[in-house]
Amino acid sequence: MRYRTIHTLVCFLLLMAANIQADNLTQPVSLVPCPVSIVPGTGNFHFSAKTTFAVENEEQAVEVRRFTELLTRAAGFTPRIKVGNKKGDICLTTDVGLKEEAYKLEITSKRINIHAAGVQGFFYALQSIRQLLPAAIEGGQVVTGINWIIPAVTITDQPRFGYRGLLVDVARFFSPKENLLRIIDCMAMLKLNTLHFHLTDDNGWRIEIKKYPELTEIGSRRVERPGKNFSERRNPRQGEPTVEKGYYTQDDIREIVAYAQERHIEVIPEIEMPAHSNAALAAYPLLACPVVNKYIGVLPGLGGMNADVIYCAGNDSVFTFLQDVLDEVLELFPSKYIHLGGDEARKTHWEACPLCQARMKQEKLENEEELQGYFMGRMARYVQSKGREVIGWDELTNATIPEGFIIQGWQGYGQAAMKAAELGHRIIMTPAR
């Protein structure tokens, strides 16, 4: 069992710690993640209703407006924005010599200069200012008696990693849309740029698919096991009543994606296959191997042996179904990347399934691990044919890795991902340990 959100958070915290420069450890200014360089100045810059931002274009103005909304809500005043003007208390200036996400922030008691190559750099500079402001800036109502100042300092910064991710597992533990938007906002403040959205698993199907309504009508509901930890929850019995655990409508997804895009966060959807599929198979049981002889329900917990019920690799209807699902997912998510899972697939039923065994014979596959490689490769080629790239978990290294796959390493210390790297594949490191 992989508690993905915790693992990714831990990985991020470790990376933050690794990114702290030795000469910054005693600096009085606290920012997360620690910038490349912090040089303290003298005095403070004071925000007020008279503060003006000078921006070069409307693109920059959009970023500044989103920042000033924080002051409107918490401080009760809104700084002015002058577009196409070089004179202001806070000036944004394009510097093409900087890298795409880099910025330089010069704060004195009288003026703030922000240099960046593009909107992402300006956005991250404003997030640093946000962190330097009093904590009341994060409130949703006007607070009186606050001195809205930030310390004079010069900050030069650029990210150490291009992919800075948080994985949110809404399949096992559903998060309402409003909570997710707040998570995205906090990600932006911490300069994270990738939300890995784990939407489907044994424990719930959380995205509306119009062609297959039972995925949410059945797959989003599970039995209650009050007072039991996730690993202790017994599996459902046939006929046992279920309760709604939630899902996102397609309009919800569009809102989430747009909200993230405004904050320069790419949302990568994950649709698990061939395993972690009990929620889907509870809705469409004919997509499981015909030799499965137990009740298929949405699992309230780890699932024990029931977790070995997975999509049938010998049934062409499975591939048609998953392609239909992905067609709708691709329409909702503009991300360059689609995550197809591929982890913890027990081959119990594939070994006994006549359809799977026939597929192996037809495709000249030596074993069931290679059958999974066939399964994932077939689905990857479909996604790639739509102009997207594919990510999968590091169990894919147990067989021939499909061409073009990006491997996400979670097991142990990431040894399997390193194996993939040695074979020439790109990798994302999220080691469980």
Q: Are strands 194-198 and 165-169 parallel, antiparallel or unpaired?
A: parallel
| pLDDT score for 8 | 46
**Is the Cβ–Cβ distance between 376 and 391 less than 8 Å?**
no
pLDDT at 44 > cutoff 60:
yes
Q: CA-CA distance, 7 to 168, in Å (whole number)?
A: 11
Give me 122's structure tokens: 């300006």
Record the pTM: 0.92
Q: CA-CA distance, 366 to 351, in Å (whole number)?
A: 12
Identity (one letter) of the amino acid at 414? G
Q: CA-CA distance, 230 to 224, in Å (whole number)?
A: 11
Architecture of domain 37-157: 2-Layer Sandwich (3.30)
pLDDT at 19 > cutoff 60:
no
Mean pLDDT, residues 337-362:
98
| pLDDT score for 85 | 86
Residue 225 CB partners (closer than 8 Å, separation 6+):
232, 233, 234, 300, 301
| pLDDT score for 296 | 97
pLDDT in tens, 95-109: 999 999 999 999 999
Helices in 3-145 by DSSP H: which ranges? 4-19, 58-75, 119-132
pLDDT at 7 > cutoff 50:
no
Under the banding of pLDDT at 50, 70 and 90, the label for residue 272 is: very high
Question: Which run of H or of E encompasses 44?
Answer: strand 37-46
Higher pLDDT, 244 or 389: 389
pLDDT at 114 > cutoff 60:
yes
| pLDDT score for 232 | 94
Q: How many CB atoms lie within 10 A of CB 24?
A: 16
| pLDDT score for 66 | 96
Question: Look-up: residue for tokens 């202790």?
Answer: 232
Active-site residues, by number, are 201, 276, 344
Residue 424 CB partners (closer than 8 Å, separation 6+):
none
Q: Which of 138, 103, 108 is CA-nearest to residue 40?
A: 108
Question: Which run of H or of E encompasses 339?
Answer: strand 337-341
Q: Among 19-33, 205-219, 265-279, whose mean pLDDT is lowest?
A: 19-33
Under the banding of pLDDT at 50, 70 and 90, the label for residue 127 is: very high
Mean pLDDT, residues 11-22:
42
Buried b (16+ CB within 10 A) or exposed e, 393-406: bbbbbbbebbeebb
- The hierarchical CATH code for the domain 165-429 is 3.20.20.80
| pLDDT score for 140 | 83
Domain boundaries, the chain: 37-157, 165-429
| pLDDT score for 86 | 87
Q: CA-CA distance, 418 to 213, in Å (whole number)?
A: 40
| pLDDT score for 297 | 97
pLDDT at 364 > cutoff 70:
yes
Give me 208's structure tokens: 């509306």
Question: Look-up: residue for tokens 């190559």?
Answer: 117
Q: CA-CA distance, 402 to 396, in Å (whole number)?
A: 8
| pLDDT score for 165 | 96
Mean pLDDT, residues 208-217:
98
Helix (H, G, I), strand (E, B) or coil at 321: helix
pLDDT in tens, 151-183: 999 999 999 999 999 999 999 999 999 999 999
**Mean per-residue pLDDT of the chain:** 93
Under the banding of pLDDT at 50, 70 and 90, the label for residue 21 is: very low
How many residues comprise the chain?
433
Question: Which run of H or of E encompasses 370?
Answer: helix 368-385
pLDDT at 12 > cutoff 60:
no
Under the banding of pLDDT at 50, 70 and 90, the label for residue 29 is: confident
DSSP state, 248? B
